[in-house]
Amino acid sequence: MVNYLWQIFLILACSLPIAEALEPGDKVPDFVMPSTNGAPQRLSEQLGSPVMLVWLNDCNACAEELIDWQYLAESWAVEGLTTWFLWRRQEGYKAPWSRLPVLEYQAQNAQAWWFEPSPAVMFITPDGVLDYLFIDKVNMRKVEVANELKSWLQNKEWFQ
């Protein structure tokens, strides 16, 4: 019986996606994902520019929820900031509309990557290193994230 349970555990463990721990200071894994308008985006093509990734959670046509993030990102685009929303389709859900790219995670895409826990916000340095990671109650901390982003972009801390 114990051997049978162990086999079931191994089957389940091997069939679930492995979450890669990522902390500030780590290199962010490269990925390629299509945007909801069809144009694929590759993280490594953004080398040389700061990047903000906004990982969405349980988002069904949630364009209204993204307005503040979109305005924040657009206000810093003049500083060279690239911003993407990352979204995972669920049955019956519609992708949010945004002027910024909404990248769709697809499990069958071997070049895709999904971060958990989500929602989350990442600031990635121009050389591809995770500098800031916000994961706790992100949508309620938009002002804090905005202030950190302003400081990060104005001080260009990644060059220090």
pLDDT tens digits for range 27-81: 999 999 999 877 899 999 999 999 999 999 888 878 888 899 999 999 999 989 9
Which CATH number describes the domain made up of 21-159? Answer: 3.40.30.10
In the chain, where the domains are located: 21-159
Nearest to 133 by CA among 123, 146, 119: 123
Q: What is the pLDDT of residue 7?
A: 44
Beta bridge partners of 40: 34
Residues 6+ apart with CB under 8 A from 140: none
Nearest to 50 by CA among 138, 157, 144: 157
What is the per-residue pLDDT across 125-157, written as a single tens digit (0 to 9) for each?
999 999 999 998 998 999 999 999 999 999 887
pTM of the predicted protein model? 0.84
